[in-house]
Structure 1
Amino acid sequence: MKKNYLFTPGPTMVPPEVSLAEAQPMIHHRTPQFSQIFYELSEDLKYLFQTKTGEVYTLMSSGTGAMEACVANVLSKGDKALVITSGKFGERWVELCKCFGIETEVVSVEYGKGVEPSRVEEILKKNSEIKVVFATQSETSTGALHDIKAISQIVKKYSALIVVDAITGIGVHKFLMDEWNVDVAVTGSQKGCMLPPGLAFVCVNSGAWEAVEKGDLPRYYWDFRKMRKNLKNKTTPFTPAVSLVMAMKTAMEMIKKEGIENVWARHERLANATREGVKALGLELFAGNSSSNVLTAIKAPEGVDVDKIIKKLRDETGVTFTGGQDSLKGKMIRIGHMGYVNDFDIILAISALEKGLHEAGYPVELGKGITRVQSLLVKGR
């Protein structure tokens, strides 16, 4: 008998309580019953983003849809933007800006590294016309983390807006929307929110609304103005994903019960144990000291076909890791540890990694990684 375990950058494992909430009988989306659920969820989501001044809009899309919505709403024709790229998802901001004819400056960072905030300031000093800075909290393609707090402090010195892809970061890493003065941030349902794919959430703070109101880029379905108007009436401008909204309400209740600070601490502890287990096997972290708590990206050992290992583990044991994307294909193994994950999941993941490497002929000492992980988790470190 094979059981399935998702240690991927998304989708992630879904708690039974959330699955059961999604399986409830359908209700109509233009009823007082659904309106109350939707209103309560919208308020709960403020806790996830750590905002009291912003509003959170629920979009029926993947995270990329929410990213496109951000570009369409905060920019106007002729505006210039600055994008920080250190992997596939930072590069997606550039691609989206180009779709709308937005001229972009790019801070390009080596894959696996976090950006030095001073590099952002260098460009902003020279380009007073830059209206928006697009950043990524956790670059999922490489496992690297960016310091959004420090970047935002710099951006605000130059009167620009900062828009953050926190699709994998929120619900895993500390993210303080108001305290860090972030203007717009997005996340997705299938990451730290512990939900199936299909929803994205955009938090728009008060400082972004002048740009949203005067924006002249094409927008219809993604119009934040429509979302704001309808949220006041506890509803959505278009048909929502009713079952996913109900499931997300349950997921938020679980997050609130654990406490967001405890959620952040749990992810930090599990990520540290995973990284230490990997290093105990003689493997190298792709992102080194810049590693995110979202996932552990492992450099492929010389001469080892890691994609073959990933496929064999998935097909034979039900344990799913992921490899590298695009230019990083065949160069890494990525082990996700966000959302519905606990101590024993990490032990299982490292055990599977040892098994896969051993069967591929890599000289790994079986049990060495597990022993290291166990010793850390028993100590609560």
Structure 2
Amino acid sequence: MSQERIFTPGPVELPERVREVLGRQIIHHRTEEFRHAFLEVRELFKKLLDEPSESFVFFASSGTGAMEATVLNFFREGEKVLVINGGKFGERWLKLAQHWGLKPIEYRVEWGKSADPERVRKLLKENPDCRGVLFQISETSTGVYHPALEIGRICREFDALCIADAITALGVYHIKPSEWGLDVLVGGSQKGFLLPPGLSTLWFSERAEKNLTDRAFYFSIRKELSKQKEGQTAWTPAISLILALRESLHMLLEEGMERVEKRHRAVSEGTIRAVEALGLRRFAENPALSVSAVSSERSEELRKELLKLGIRVAGGQD
């Protein structure tokens, strides 16, 4: 067994309580035992977001699957969207929009910098037919936090759907999507949820639900939601990950999301102070709590040296 310590943005190290669940014999998904467990997961997820709505689904996919599901289910071919592209995952929104026939307006943000809400407002004013704004709350590749609350408010001003990739934000920030003005919130299992990869989450607002399409097959939100409300799924689910998610949600709620966010803030600020004391510098002007990005001309050499010490970190992809 590897003795490496994993400090990558994802996957993350698994807590003992989660590993214990994952080590159990698998159960069948068309059983009362699974149905009961899945319904409990749905109730816990609502508590995590402080949202009473049943408007969310889980997919057996990476977070990118839920991103693709968002583009397919809430937009139609030829519709215009604004994409905030400030890193590799902003670029992914752009590629998905282009692939599925949308007309993206690209707001290119310099890597390491946060989106300017006033620039978002200006672009929406110039494009009154824009149907949505797609962005990352936490851009994993650069460690940047984008001002989700301000972007959400601006989207409401212009009746544009606010689409947030929260893959490295859920389970870290105390996100309340309705209060923040968000319409779609995408998550993934291998980050703040403390699980292996393979499960994605997609919450959506009443406003977004009115825009549901039938363009998707496997990623059909309408089809999945009708099943998942009853504790089942349209297709074979990620059984073990759903059962482990029940445990990790219990852990997050036992601590309380306000305390979880404070803990991440303390660790993030301490990490930044430590790397600066070593003569390195943080890459992000407004760093996310979930990802600490460090800038160094010798980054590859640094990663190799850390790996010799049993510490695995990741690069920013480019």
Q: TM-score scaled to structure 1, two decimals?
A: 0.81
List runs of 5+ in structure 1 lacking aligned partners. Answer: 327-381
Residue 292 of structure 2: SS of its match in structure 1? strand
The alpha-carbon deviation at position 298 of structure 1 amounts to 1.1
Mapping 1:128-143, distance limit 5 Å: 128-143=128-143
Amino acid at match of 1:323: G
CA contact (8 A) 1:54 1:206 kept: no
Mapping 1:144-223, distance limit 5 Å: 144-212=144-212, 215=213, 218-223=215-220
1:274 aligned residue:
271
2:296 aligned residue:
300
2:245 aligned residue:
248
CA contact (8 A) 2:54 2:229 kept: no
Q: Of the two, which has the highest radius of gyration?
A: 1
Aligned partners of 1:205 and 1:35: how far apart in 2?
Answer: 25
Mapping 1:254-265, distance limit 5 Å: 254-265=251-262
The alpha-carbon deviation at position 312 of structure 1 amounts to 3.3
1:235 aligned residue:
232
Mapping 1:119-130, distance limit 5 Å: 119-130=119-130
Aligned partners of 1:51 and 1:232: how far apart in 2?
Answer: 15
2:111 aligned residue:
111
Percent identical among aligned pairs is 39
2:316 aligned residue:
324
The alpha-carbon deviation at position 54 of structure 1 amounts to 5.0
1:311 aligns with 2:304: yes
Aligned partners of 2:112 and 2:48: how far apart in 1?
Answer: 27
1:94 aligns with 2:94: yes
Q: TM-score scaled to structure 2, two decimals?
A: 0.97
Residue 281 of structure 2: SS of its match in structure 1? coil
Mapping 1:57-72, distance limit 5 Å: 57-72=57-72
The alpha-carbon deviation at position 313 of structure 1 amounts to 2.2
Amino acid at match of 2:192: G
CA contact (8 A) 2:164 2:186 kept: yes
1:6 aligned residue:
6
Amino acid at match of 2:268: A
CA contact (8 A) 2:141 2:317 kept: yes
The alpha-carbon deviation at position 171 of structure 1 amounts to 1.2
CA contact (8 A) 2:133 2:163 kept: yes
Q: 1:59 to 1:225 in 2, by over 3 A?
A: same
Aligned partners of 2:31 and 2:72: how far apart in 1?
Answer: 30
Residue 247 of structure 1: SS of its match in structure 2? helix
Aligned partners of 1:54 and 1:113: how far apart in 2?
Answer: 35
* Per-residue deviation, residues 205-237 of structure 1 (Å, max 9, x unmatched): 21111101xx25x31000000111102221111
Aligned partners of 2:124 and 2:115: how far apart in 1?
Answer: 15
Aligned partners of 2:123 and 2:299: how far apart in 1?
Answer: 39
Structure of higher RCO (CA pairs closer than 8 Å, 6+ residues apart): 2
Residue 84 of structure 2: SS of its match in structure 1? strand
The alpha-carbon deviation at position 173 of structure 1 amounts to 2.1
Q: 1:99 to 1:2 in 2, by over 3 A?
A: closer
List runs of 5+ in structure 2 lacking aligned partners. Answer: none
| RMSD of aligned residue pairs (Cα, Å) | 1.4
**Which runs of structure 1 show a deviation greater than 3 angstroms over 4 or more consecutive aligned residues?**
none
Aligned partners of 2:10 and 2:302: how far apart in 1?
Answer: 19
CA contact (8 A) 2:173 2:257 kept: no
Aligned partners of 2:132 and 2:275: how far apart in 1?
Answer: 38
